Amino acid sequence: MRDEEKAGKLGSNPTSRSEFDFIERIRHRARSHLKNSSLTLPPSSLLLGIGDDAAIIQQFAGRYTVITTDLLIEEIDFRLDTTTPWLLGHKALAVSLSDIAAMGARPRFALLSIGVPRAVWDSAFVDEFYEGFFSLAEVFGVALIGGDVSRTPERIVIDSIVIGDVTHGRAVRRSGARAGDHIFVTGALGGAAAGLRFLERGARLRGKRTRSTHSRMVEQLILRQLLPEPRVTWGAMLGEESLATAMIDISDGLSSDLMHICRESDVGAMIDAARIPIDPLVVNLCGRRALDPLLLALHGGEDFELLFTIHPRDLRRLPRRVGDVPIAYIGDVTKDAGHIRITEGSHVWSLEPQGFHHF
């Protein structure tokens, strides 16, 4: 932002926290986190981080740069009454890490920009938000190298950018699936959508105050919505080992995201309902509430699992689990361009994409 705006801001409200101090604090936080992290690249790769007009990165020979950005808008992508600033900071980074993972790349750097109303700026929101962000950045050795701050009239706006890299030619696109490839998904599906339904029905995170087993299970589903775990290790492995022929992260819902692969690859898909890894909590809790677990797993978004295809000859090289995250084989790529079919016992249905759309 321009200096006169900053001066105006400070001048008009001398009690408000200073933007300069804020950036200085973020700058130190970002530096100490870099020093503590054993996962980061040699320091030569980041020549200049926060504090100048722009950051400078030294590129490694033989590697491609992969960049993504995600916008989170209050009341559209999140609501302050259902989440916490910490969880929001965590999620802002998680969704971008998930995109980098879906390219088969490894995340290295982040830029984070926020626009907040004055009342939010004057509260503890921003500090907690950055704590959530850094807690995830530290897990994967991602360095915060820049961002921006401004004021909005009413609602919070967040823009999260992540830069990653991958060996030349190993990035995984949506367009590489071929008929005969096998389709896999990491983890379990439907949890995030179920969590959102519970939030819409008034359930909230209560933490230690939660007593009954039932409420604890509901909380776990809510956390699948508010605290997604991006599949960073799986994604980078599937790219670097040249295993996946196509890949996407499940943000809109399995039916929609599989259709993206089909359209870009000019293929179709046949999946088996019995093989869809439905989140066990969804099976347990939602069957009783007229929320069909299979439909939540097929069309519910925001699980941030990875959906990918594998050539049959590479199946032997494919691990069945990385860390504590398993994968499930759910079906095959077909020649039937643009059509997804789903088998349920002896029935075969056409599966229409019904995932999330902003408009």
Q: Which residues bind ligand ADP (CB under 6 A)?
A: 1, 23, 26, 50-53, 112-114, 144, 146-149
> Which of residues 148 and 344 has its CB atom nearest to Mg ion in the complex?
148
Q: CB under 5 to 8 A by kind: which of Mg ion, ligand ADP, none does 139 bind?
A: none
Q: To the nearest whole angstrom, how small is the minimum distance from the Cβ of residue 69 to Mg ion? A: 16
Rounded CA separation 290/9 (Å): 51
> Which of residues 112 and 189 has its CB atom nearest to ligand ADP in the complex?
112
Q: CB under 5 to 8 A by kind: which of Mg ion, ligand ADP, none does 166 bind?
A: none
- Return contacts of 52-56, CB within 8 angstroms, 24+ apart: 54/146, 55/109, 55/111, 55/145, 55/146
> Which of residues 21 and 53 has its CB atom nearest to ligand ADP in the complex?
53
> Which of residues 115 and 228 has its CB atom nearest to ligand ADP in the complex?
115
Tell which residue, 346, 255, 350, 249, has the closest CA to residue 295. Answer: 255
Per-residue burial over 148-159, b if 16 or more Cβ lie within 10 Å, else e, is ebeebeeebbbb
**Considering only 11-19, 23-31, 107-115, 147-155, which stretch makes contact with Mg ion by CB under 5 A?**
147-155
Q: CB under 5 to 8 A by kind: which of Mg ion, ligand ADP, none does 154 bind?
A: none
**Could you tell me how many residues of this chain bind Mg ion (CB under 5 A)?**
1
Q: To the nearest whole angstrom, how small is the minimum distance from the Cβ of residue 245 to ligand ADP? A: 37
- Coil/strand/helix, residue 27: helix
Q: 5: part of which helix (H) or strand (E)?
A: helix 3-12
Contact status, residue 256 vs residue 355, Cβ threshold 8 Å: yes
Q: To the nearest whole angstrom, how small is the minimum distance from the Cβ of residue 53 to ligand ADP? A: 5
Rounded CA separation 314/334 (Å): 18
By CB under 5 A, is residue 148 in contact with Mg ion?
yes
> Which of residues 146 and 235 has its CB atom nearest to ligand ADP in the complex?
146
Q: 145: part of which helix (H) or strand (E)?
A: strand 143-151
**C-alpha dihedral sign at 63, 232, 66, 142:** negative
Tell which residue, 349, 69, 88, has the closest CA to residue 227. Answer: 88
Q: To the nearest whole angstrom, how small is the minimum distance from the Cβ of residue 127 to Mg ion? A: 20
> Which of residues 148 and 352 has its CB atom nearest to Mg ion in the complex?
148
Contact status, residue 149 vs residue 113, Cβ threshold 8 Å: yes
Q: CB under 5 to 8 A by kind: which of ligand ADP, Mg ion, none does 114 bind?
A: ligand ADP
Contact status, residue 314 vs residue 244, Cβ threshold 8 Å: no
> Which of residues 112 and 306 has its CB atom nearest to ligand ADP in the complex?
112
Q: Which two tokens stand for residue 306?
A: 């990875």
Q: CB under 5 to 8 A by kind: which of Mg ion, ligand ADP, none does 185 bind?
A: none
By CB under 5 A, is residue 5 in contact with Mg ion?
no
Q: To the nearest whole angstrom, how small is the minimum distance from the Cβ of residue 236 to ligand ADP? A: 25
Residues making contact with Mg ion (CB under 5 A): 148
